[in-house]
């Protein structure tokens, strides 16, 4: 997949010259890259060239959303009024765009009204439901935001981003077991994704901080398993092998377990391994390698065995 940074200014200009703007825009649309600056530039040029045929409405919609993304209100307004003139504001697609522009203008109540009418005609309109959730978040109403998100998830249990949004909300409100539940759902979507396992390890480790006795040890051991799994996954992926997140987590967890069970052989072995990983990762970093390696040395020394 293209990343937004790969669409450089140069490429944008070349596309304008070649008259291939529509094709590039379509490519962006189908691969769902988020590159609002490029889309605004290309879309403005493409719309003024008037050679798009039926494609013009798709381009208008795309440009409208990108314009909202970069806060180019006049352009968004122009696209919106063109679309609404042509299609009216009764259809689901057009009224979503209308709601989006209202939101961008700051007319949150009007936007809410728009979404409500959308939901009246089709109660299962996922787009409208999502916008309502976003409105609640925008207004800072956390309780209603969580309620709405939960209600939405009850109907659309396959929406990954909703699970993640809910999880992060629970994290920020300190409701860690709930967040862990959400992340466990996310691992079921993609069991090989190392970052979900890493996050679960972090959450269990953080959760252990508020617990005591056998529950604390239990949480720590779970965290250690997740981190170990993540380190193992990362070693087989060259791109992730440089991430210090999982080894750091493993080191800290082992250190915390070591306070409870100082003689556990596995714990000692894992801790040594995490420290070695961490050192090698920081050594392989390019420029200020010495500085970084020196800076983390006391941290590593603090958390390696012996734990007494």
Partner 1 sequence: MITDAPLLLDPAIRDWVVLPMVAIMVLMGLCRHYAQQLLKSNQSLDPDEVRHKQTLMRCSRLRNRGQFLPASSFHARKAYFLTKETGILRQKVSKSGLNPMANPLGMIDHVKGNMLYMLPNMVMMGIISYFFQGFVLVKVPFPLTNRFKVMLQRGVDLATLDVSYVSSLSWYFLVMFGLRGFFKILLGEDSDALDEARATQMQMGMGVGMGGGGGMFDAPAAYKHEREELEMAHHNWVLEDSELKLVGPTVAARISAERMGTLASSRSASASKKAPRVKKIRKKAKAP
Enumerate binding residues for partner 1 (CB under 8 A).
26, 29-30, 54-55, 58, 92-93, 96, 122-127, 154-159, 181, 184-185, 187-189, 191, 197, 222, 224-226, 228-229, 231-232, 265-266, 269-270, 273
**Which CA distances in Å does 35 have to 43, 98, 126, 270?**
12, 21, 24, 42
**Crossing angle (nearest 10°) for helices 176-189 and 160-172:** 160
Please give the torsion angle defined by the CA atoms of residues 196, 201, 204 and 205, in that order, rounded to the nearest 10 degrees: -140
What's the distance, CA 285 to chain centroid?
26
Q: Do you know the residue count of the chain?
A: 308
The CB-of-132 to partner 1 minimum distance in angstroms stands at: 15
Q: Which is nearer to partner 1, 121 or 139 (CB)?
A: 121
Could you tell me the two tokens for 147? 């309620």
Q: Specify whether the CB–CB gap between 97 and 132 falls below 8 A.
A: no
The CB-of-46 to partner 1 minimum distance in angstroms stands at: 16
Q: Which residues neighbour 40 within 8 Å (Cβ) at sequence distance 6 or greater? A: 63, 66, 67, 70, 72, 75
Q: Which is nearer to partner 1, 5 or 236 (CB)?
A: 236
The CB-of-9 to partner 1 minimum distance in angstroms stands at: 27
Got the DSSP string for 202-235? HHHHHHHHT--THHHHHHHHHHHHHHHHHHHHHH
Q: Which is nearer to partner 1, 77 or 225 (CB)?
A: 225
Q: Which is nearer to partner 1, 10 or 158 (CB)?
A: 158
Q: Which is nearer to partner 1, 197 or 199 (CB)?
A: 197
The CB-of-106 to partner 1 minimum distance in angstroms stands at: 25
Q: Which is nearer to partner 1, 2 or 276 (CB)?
A: 276
The CB-of-32 to partner 1 minimum distance in angstroms stands at: 8
- The dihedral sign for the CA sequence 287, 289, 294, 300: positive
The CB-of-287 to partner 1 minimum distance in angstroms stands at: 30
Q: Specify whether the CB–CB gap between 304 and 271 falls below 8 A.
A: yes
- The dihedral sign for the CA sequence 150, 152, 158, 163: negative
Q: Which is nearer to partner 1, 29 or 137 (CB)?
A: 29
The CB-of-144 to partner 1 minimum distance in angstroms stands at: 21
């Amino acid at each position: 997949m293209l990343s937004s940074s790969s669409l450089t200014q140069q490429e944008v200009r070349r596309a304008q010259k070649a008259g291939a703007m529509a094709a590039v825009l379509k490519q962006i649309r189908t691969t769902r890259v988020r590159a609002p600056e490029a889309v605004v530039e290309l879309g403005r040029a493409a719309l003024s060239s008037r050679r798009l045929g039926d494609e013009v409405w798709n381009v208008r919609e795309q440009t409208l959303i990108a314009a909202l993304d970069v806060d180019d209100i006049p352009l968004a307004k122009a696209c919106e009024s063109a679309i609404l003139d042509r299609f009216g504001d009764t259809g689901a697609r057009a009224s979503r765009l209308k709601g989006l522009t209202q939101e961008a203008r700051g007319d949150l109540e009007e936007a809410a009204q728009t979404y409500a009418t959308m939901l009246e005609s089709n109660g299962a309109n996922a787009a409208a439901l999502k916008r309502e959730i976003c409105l609640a978040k925008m207004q800072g109403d956390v309780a209603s935001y969580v309620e709405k998100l939960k209600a939405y998830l009850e109907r659309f249990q396959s929406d990954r981003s909703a699970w993640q949004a809910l999880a992060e909300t629970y994290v920020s409100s300190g409701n860690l077991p709930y967040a862990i539940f959400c992340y466990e759902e996310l691992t079921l979507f993609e069991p090989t994704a190392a970052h979900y396992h890493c996050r679960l390890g972090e959450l269990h480790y953080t959760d252990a901080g508020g617990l005591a006795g056998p529950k604390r040890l239990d949480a720590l051991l779970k965290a250690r398993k997740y981190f170990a799994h993540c380190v193992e996954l990362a070693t087989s992926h060259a791109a992730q092998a440089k991430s210090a997140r999982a080894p750091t987590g493993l080191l800290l967890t082992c250190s915390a377990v070591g306070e409870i069970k100082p003689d556990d052989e596995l714990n000692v072995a894992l801790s040594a391994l995490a420290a070695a990983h961490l050192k090698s990762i920081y050594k392989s970093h390019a420029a200020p390698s010495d500085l970084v390696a020196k800076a983390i040395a006391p941290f590593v020394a603090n958390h390696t065995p012996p734990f007494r």
